[in-house]
Amino acid sequence: MSILHTLYRGISTTFKKRRSRAIFSILWPVIFMGMFATPIAATPGNGIAIQAHLFGPTNYMILAVLSGMTALALVMQIHILWDKIGREANSIRGAAFGGFGAAAGLFSSLFASATCGLCIGAIFSFLGFGTILFLLENSGYILAGAFLLLLASVYLSAKRIAAGCTACAIVPE
């Protein structure tokens, strides 16, 4: 099965259920607003108006894509968990795998929310000056890495949904 076919089959199977579509439609804007609000909360003196002025169309597009992919990864993990619980399989192992995928998505979203130098300095100030300079110089690579992590999370979830997983006792629909 090709990568695109696996993605299509996994995503379409997930969204066949109404509750998955409902959760996705709630999670996407919540995650977007969380990513938008993270620099506001982390930067002293920053507000919604200032942050909205600092962000350009590219920043909003990045936030929309990454928050959508994060929401998709989470919904797919929830679908897998519900499928496992419904089949009374080993839900602890599945929850651990699902939790790792969701954590990777949320961690990469944190990096994606820091799209400006001021935000990176405020959010990651605990890492030290040298690390902040490194993050500033390599922010494009970090965003690409965040996108690839999310894409891998979505693909692996889709693969588990579409093809099944013997270790997790998931049977494809």
The pTM is what? 0.76
Q: Per-residue pLDDT tens for 120-167?
A: 666 677 777 787 778 778 778 877 887 888 888 888 888 888 877 665
Determine the pLDDT at residue 126: 73
- Low-confidence residues in the chain, pLDDT < 50: 89
Orientation angle between helical segments 139-163 and 91-113, nearest 10 degrees: 150
Determine the pLDDT at residue 165: 65
Q: Are 84 and 169 in contact (CB under 8 A)?
A: yes
Dump strand ranges (E) for the chain.
none
SS3 at position 33: helix
> What CA–CA distance (Å, rounded) separates 31 from 46?
19
> What CA–CA distance (Å, rounded) separates 163 from 120?
39
